[in-house]
Copies of this chain bind each other. A is one copy, B any other.
Amino acid sequence: MKTNFQNRRDFIKTTSLAAASLPLFGALNSLAQDSAPKRKIGFALLGLGNLSTHQIAPALQKTKFCKLAGIVTGHPAKAEQWKVQYNIPDKNIYNYDNMDQMADNSDIDVVYVVTPNALHAGHTIKAARAGKHVLCEKPMEISVAKCQQMIDECKKAGKQLAIGYRLHFEPNNLECVRLAREKTFGDVRVIEAGFGFPIGDPTQWRLKKDLAGGGPLMDVGIYALQATRYLSGEEPVEVSATTTVTDPVKFKDIEESIVWQMKFPSGIISYNSASYKVPGIAGFKAFADRGWFGLDPAYGYGGISGQRSDGQLIQLPQVDQFAAEMDDFAQCILENRPTRVPGEEGLRDLKIMMAIYESAKTGRKISLI
């Protein structure tokens, strides 16, 4: 199915999502899915934009270990609407000024931060100081320093911090990780990965550097970066990058498109792209000694599938990735074990993305060691 997508939501969303109750992949998901949880973890959604409205809130309804317990919003009208739609008690409805009072509210265990990138640290820290665990959307923040501060504050509060890397819970992506780790086609040597879409509304925060921290690299390139990292199982040691802007009215202070390349300790090299201009950059391919495998599309909310050089298709059942991500975090909290997508994982991406931008700016290869 090939489509031109008209906006970000349509683009990233594809066909209907299968039920979230499907077991996730392999050893990482070995928990008994049948046992009923003793109690459900209460989530408060902070920031009621498109993602919360169209993905996360519906996903919460499909979870096994979570419930939508509260909201934090600056819009009283939205508060009223959500209150009615999701039967949220008044006492669990907060705004950004009074959310510290959450400390006294045992209905809420986790705050899910779904605000523009540059607000993540402030909201995460407020939530941690109110004694809540935090699940924060990607990219974690817009600077390494702010990521570190988020980690430190959550640690100080004795609360977990997870980043919303939903593809760590997506069976087809996990299958590709398996093919890489088990060397089904031998050692992976070269990785191609990119993600892009033509961005719509020119007034949206994603186009403003002070709120977004950057352009398509920060928003969607991060998925391609993540893919190179989970396929290689390594951290890049050097990066170089080239940005472009052909529409300087729309792209005043962020890149329109970017290509970058990385080298990893074992000698793996990657070539990558991210774009707010063109449709169709949507997947990855890992090239190994005796064959290749990849997904295209790889990063959507559903409809993910891929191919292998032996002719086999990669088409494991789709899951609601948000439901899977939240259920996993809830189980981590219930069982007091660490999340697989901690703040440190978000920090690593920020460090790399900042180096990518530095390379684009200076024209030099940037070392990460």
Contacts and interface: CB of A to CB of B under 8 A. Distances in A.
A272 B271 contact: yes
A193 to B, nearest CB: 10
Given A194-B192, A364-B365, A269 B281 contact: no
Given A189-B257, A272-B271, A365-B240, A280 B292 contact: yes
A133 interface: no
A266 interface: yes
A314 interface: no
Interface residues of A, number: 55
Nearest to A290: B4
A288 B280 CA distance: 9
A271 B259 contact: yes
A260 interface: yes
A246 B266 contact: yes
A189, A266, A270, A280: residue with the most chain B Cβ atoms closer than 10 Å: A280
Interface in A183-219: 187, 189-190, 192, 194, 196, 198
Copies in the assembly, this chain: 2
Contacts of A280: 285, 287, 291-292, 309
Nearest to A263: B242
A288 B194 CA distance: 15
A230 B199 CA distance: 27
Interface string A275-296: 1011111000101111110000
18 contacts: A2-B307, A2-B309, A3-B309, A189-B257, A190-B196, A190-B277, A190-B281, A240-B363, A242-B263, A259-B261, A259-B271, A271-B271, A278-B287, A278-B288, A279-B291, A279-B309, A280-B291, A281-B287
Given A240-B240, A278-B292, A280-B291, 6 more contacts: A187-B246, A243-B269, A271-B271, A275-B287, A278-B288, A364-B364
Interface of A: 2-4, 187, 189-190, 192, 194, 196, 198, 238, 240-246, 256-263, 266-273, 275, 277-281, 285, 287-292, 307-311, 363-365
